[in-house]
């Protein structure tokens, strides 16, 4: 029965939004943590632990290809990928090394070199990138000579000439944008944290509103401890009850404190009623006998702590014992949330 009613319960968008705003402190805190972790990590990596400045010397060449005697057409042009592979081959590296006075480890020298064909297939370029501008220019000059030597060993190439030698090395610009990183990490962190909180709220079975108990379980609800209509509801709903048993879903509820609040509310209405404290049947099922002796039963549900399954278990158990809950009271309610919900 409870499952059917729960399945038909409409989604409460107002409560959902208020619950999200209720967790605004956690959301902001976790968002800040995300900014510090991701944005801060980017800043540490790109700024504080950034490698030393690099300088690149670029040389531009013009290649004249031989013609195939069988077809009369030029041999296939060398593309960008092939030039980049060729400049890092042992043959090319040894030629570059032969034009240098200092000795370099082959792997280190290879890491300095790259080649590309920006547009025209007849105009490749080579680049040397190191942390020393003078060293970049020196190795670039050796690479230029090596390109010319390379042409003399290839039947497909008639000649290579240097169009634009590397006279100077330019500092390599690294696109580091810490402000954008912090903003992006903040936006993404906020989005995913809100999504996680939304999923948590959608799948939560906690009860926050007195009306939920009425809609979901068809029970009469007194309200909360601070409801202005509490005394009036007690007077009407328990008017035929000389004694009323006060119990709770959870064994952790201080039933004596609940009875004290009920008596104070009734005293304002100048109405005396006998309230009997009965511990939760969740923890002690044998308390059903004490409930039978009362004229009415008031069940206390803790807002935000007792889940729907706990409430359903107690209600089903009482039904099996032929005990009818006269009314329900929502304890530990978030009164500020209720006032905002009610507008």
Domains belonging to the chain, first-starting first, are: 1-50+174-204 (no CATH), 55-171 (3.30.70), 206-341 (3.40.50.300)
Q: What is the reported pLDDT for 270?
A: 52
- Dist CA 48 CA 227 (whole Å): 58
User: Is the pLDDT at 303 greater than 90, yes or no?
Assistant: yes
* Per-residue pLDDT, 272: 65
Burial of 213 (0-12, 13-18, 19+ CB in 10 A): buried
DSSP one-letter code for 48: I
β-bridge mates for residue 164, sequence order? 60
pTM higher than 0.75, yes or no?
no
Distance CA 262, CA 165 (A): 94
> Which band of pLDDT confidence, cut at 50, 70 and 90, is reported for residue 269?
low
**276 neighbors 244 (Cβ within 8 angstroms):** yes
- What does the pLDDT read at residue 57? 96
Cα–Cα distance measured from residue 7 to residue 171, given in angstroms and rounded to the nearest whole number: 66
Of 55-59, 76-80, 112-116, 264-268, the range with the lowest mean pLDDT is: 264-268
The DSSP secondary structure of 174-226, one letter per residue, reads P---HHHHHHHHHHHHHHHHHHHHHHHHHH--B---HHHHHHHH---EEEETT
* More confident of the two residues 315 and 268: 315
Per the model's pLDDT, the better-predicted residue between 9 and 288 turns out to be 288
Q: Which residues pair with 307 in a beta bridge?
A: 206
C-alpha distances in Å from residue 154, one per residue of 42, 73, 146: 47, 16, 13
**Higher-pLDDT residue of 154, 36:** 36
Is the Cβ–Cβ distance between 74 and 63 less than 8 Å?
Answer: no
**What value does the mean pLDDT take over residues 138-149?**
94
pLDDT in tens, 222-244: 999 888 888 899 989 998 888 99
pLDDT band (50, 70, 90) for residue 195:
very high
Structure tokens at 331: 């304890």
What confidence score (pLDDT) does residue 283 get? Answer: 84
pLDDT of residue 8: 63
CA dihedral 220, 225, 227, 233 (to 10 degrees): 40
Is pLDDT at 39 greater than 80 in this prediction? yes
Instruction: Provide, rounded to the nearest whole percent, the portion of the chain with pLDDT above 70.
Output: 95
pLDDT of 168:
94
Mean pLDDT calculated for residue range 260-271: 72
């Amino acid at each position: 029965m409870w499952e059917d009613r729960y399945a038909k319960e409409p989604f409460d968008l107002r409560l959902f939004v208020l619950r999200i705003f209720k967790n605004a402190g956690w959301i902001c805190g976790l968002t800040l943590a995300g900014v510090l972790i991701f944005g801060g990590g980017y800043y540490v990596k790109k700024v504080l632990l950034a490698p030393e400045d690099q300088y690149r010397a670029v040389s531009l060449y013009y290649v004249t290809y031989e013609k195939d005697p069988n077809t009369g057409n030029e041999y296939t042009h060398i593309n960008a990928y092939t030039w980049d592979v060729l400049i890092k081959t042992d043959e090319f590296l040894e030629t570059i090394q032969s034009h240098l006075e200092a000795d370099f480890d082959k792997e280190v020298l290879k890491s300095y070199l790259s080649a590309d064909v920006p547009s025209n297939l007849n105009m490749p370029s080579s680049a040397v990138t190191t942390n020393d501008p003078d060293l970049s220019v020196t190795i670039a000059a050796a690479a230029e000579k090596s390109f010319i030597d390379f042409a003399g060993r290839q039947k497909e190439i008639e000649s290579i000439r240097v169009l634009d030698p590397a006279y100077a090395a330019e500092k390599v610009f690294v696109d580091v944008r810490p402000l954008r990183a912090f903003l992006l990490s903040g936006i993404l962190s906020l989005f995913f944290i809100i999504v996680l909180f939304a999923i948590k709220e959608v799948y939560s079975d906690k009860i926050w509103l007195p009306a939920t108990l009425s809609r979901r379980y068809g029970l009469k609800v007194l309200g909360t401890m601070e409801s202005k209509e509490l005394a009036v509801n007690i007077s009407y709903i328990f008017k035929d009850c000389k004694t009323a048993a006060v119990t709770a879903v959870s064994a952790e509820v201080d039933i004596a404190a609940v009875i004290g609040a009920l008596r104070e509310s009734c005293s304002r209405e100048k109405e005396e009623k006998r309230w009997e404290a009965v511990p939760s049947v969740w923890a002690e099922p044998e308390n059903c006998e004490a409930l039978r002796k009362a004229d009415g039963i008031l069940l206390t549900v803790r807002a935000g702590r007792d889940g729907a399954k706990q409430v359903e278990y107690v209600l089903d158990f009482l039904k099996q014992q032929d005990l009818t809950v006269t009314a329900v009271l929502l304890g530990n309610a978030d009164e500020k949330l209720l006032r905002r919900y009610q507008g």
